[in-house]
Amino acid sequence: MTRERIIQRALQEIQPGMYVNLGIGMPTLIANVLPHDFDVMLQSENGLLGIGPYPTHDEVDEDLINAGKETVTAKQGAAFFDSATSFAMIRGGHIDVAILGGMEVSQTGDLANWMIPGKMVKGMGGAMDLVHGAKHVVVIMEHVNKHGESKIKPSCTLPLTGKRVVNRLITDLAVFDFTEEGMVLIEVANGHTIEDVRAKTDAAFIERIT
């Protein structure tokens, strides 16, 4: 239910006509909840524009994968290309929204999402390019880790993906924007209060609930 709540809220960040990159992990699940008639092109940095939902058992094509090595489907009109062309799209500012997972986010909008020291890292992926190339960066993650510790901190303790790159953060408890004034709380999830959010957030933030 926690992930479903986050994904449904993240879906509101996508508008018809957009070119959207979904990061590995939880963001890839958004492809499954996009309406079939929604005019959006999902891009994967390994060279696919026009990702569809996860395949059924009969649709699986082991050669058709996203950046997370998961099998996917392709929408009608999809395009395939090399990763150099894919990263040219990203670095050229042609991605409207990048929705990425996060391990930590700081109160100034720094993002750490690519490695935990001492654990196996398959590669840095495309997140470092996406946080600088996409027009709008949305991070989705659970508010606390498995130990109950806040993942929203005064400053990140894990290696950074990018500094001051997050535009919006969506968790299972709240939605924050990052502005020149600082981190701003703009929404609280149903069933929770601002006090709940404060109790589970190490970072300082401004309240501006609409």
What is the span of the domain harbouring residue 91?
A: 1-207
Tell me the sheet residues that pair with 168.
Answer: 138, 177
Burial category of 186 from C-beta neighbours within 10 Å (exposed 0-12, middle 13-18, buried 19 and up): middle
Distance CA 162, CA 152 (A): 15
pLDDT of residue 119: 84
pTM: predicted TM-score of the whole model, two decimal places: 0.95
In a 10 Å sphere around its CB, with 0-12 CB exposed, 13-18 middle and 19+ buried, how is residue 151 labelled? buried
Q: Write the DSSP symbol of residue 166.
A: -
User: Does the annotation count 45 as an active-site position?
Assistant: yes
What is the rounded average pLDDT of the residues 75-83? 93
Least confident of 31-35, 146-150, 170-174: 31-35
**Rounded Cα–Cα distance for residues 16 and 170 (Å):** 20
For the stretch 14-58, pLDDT in tens is 999 999 999 988 999 999 999 888 899 999 999 999 999 999 999
Nearest-angstrom CA–CA distance, 58 and 36? 19
Least confident of 3-7, 36-40, 69-73, 198-202: 36-40
Average pLDDT over residues 111-123: 85
pLDDT, average across residues 157-167: 97
3-state class (DSSP) for residue 145? coil
What element of type H or E holds 75? strand 74-80
* CA atoms 128, 134, 140, 144: torsion sign: positive
Confidence (pLDDT) at 118: 84
- In the predicted structure, residue 68 carries a pLDDT above the cut 90: no
- What pLDDT sits at residue 67? 86
Domains contained in the chain, number: 1
> Residue 37's pLDDT is what?
82
CB-side neighbour CA atoms (13 Å) of 116: 5
Report the pLDDT value the prediction gives residue 72, as an integer from 0 to 100: 94
pLDDT score, position 60: 95
Confidence of residue 124 (pLDDT cuts 50, 70, 90): low
CA distance 81 to 114: 24
> How large is the average pLDDT for residues 136-143?
98
- Pairing mode of beta strands 19-22, 41-44: parallel
Q: Exactly one of 13, 45, 59, 195 is catalytic; which is it?
A: 45
Phi/psi at 101 (nearest 5 deg)?
-80, 165
> Which CATH number does the domain housing residue 173 bear?
3.40.1080.10
- Within its chain, how far is the Cα of 95 from the centroid? 13
